[in-house]
Amino acid sequence: MKKTLFFTVLVLLGCAGMAQQPNTLTRKEKKEGWELLFDGKTTRGWHTYLRDTVGSKWQVKDGAIIFDPSQPQSGGGDIVTNKEYENYELNLEWKISKGGNSGIIFDIQEDPKYDATYLTGPEMQVLDNIDASDNKKQNHLAGCLYDMSGDATVSKPNPVGEWNHVRLIQNKGHLTFWLNGIQTYDGQIGSDEWNKMVANSKFKSAGFSNFAKVARGKIALQQHPGSSAWRNIKIRML
């Protein structure tokens, strides 16, 4: 019995040691073409929108990119990838503070004539569904295509302080979202259905005349009320 117990403990310890560390790629993932967008130590590969560097509100702590709202306002702004992406699968993990709000914005056309990322890029919502002030509309809940599609039947974020897993695929303008393994959206940018959703959203106003016009662009992590954390950000081209 003692030998069996000892062997079991060794097996469990071995399995724990083999568990994939955050912000790393397995041999299989590398072979499949995955690339890390966050190395777990620096903000290399990112910059604050319309700036050259990353502001002080965004810091790397304990293997995660942290948005810290307590830092000076001058250090704020959404951060975006240095590169543009078109047909890809994006995976990442996020967690949010109590009452917190953020988002993953993509297809961003970074240009001084657009003073915010959301003027050109759609958003997958990141939210504390229970205590955030922006929880009144169903399509504003976590995992939803912000202000366009989704509701509580598909928005199933983990409790505040726990990590949530995102899978986002864009291929030739076709979008599919998953949050924690649940599909939250599937549709085609520029389709009749898409245009109807835009017409029924805030993006119908004149200020959004270039919203989602190009299915290619930069990817952003959004500054918003509360603290957010991000890790295991990886992408592969399709």
- Where exactly are the structural domains of the chain? 23-38+83-237
Q: How confident is the model at residue 19 (pLDDT cuts 50, 70, 90)?
A: confident
What is the average per-residue pLDDT within 64-68? Answer: 97
pLDDT at 5 over 90: no
- Of residues 26 and 12, the one with the higher pLDDT is 26
Residue 168 has pLDDT above 70, yes or no: yes
Mean pLDDT of all residues in the chain?
Answer: 93
Amino acid letter for position 172: K
pLDDT value at 13 more than 50: no
For domain 23-38+83-237, give the fold: Jelly Rolls (2.60.120)
Backbone angles phi, psi at 191, to 5 degrees: -75, 170
Is pLDDT above 70 for 96?
yes
Question: Which contacts qualify for 157-162: CB closer than 8 Å, 24 or more apart?
Answer: 157/96, 157/127, 157/128, 157/129, 158/95, 160/95, 160/96, 160/97, 160/98, 160/100, 160/128, 160/130, 160/131, 161/95, 161/97, 162/95
- Going by pLDDT thresholds of 50, 70 and 90, the confidence category of residue 12 is very low
Is the pLDDT at 9 greater than 70? The verdict is no
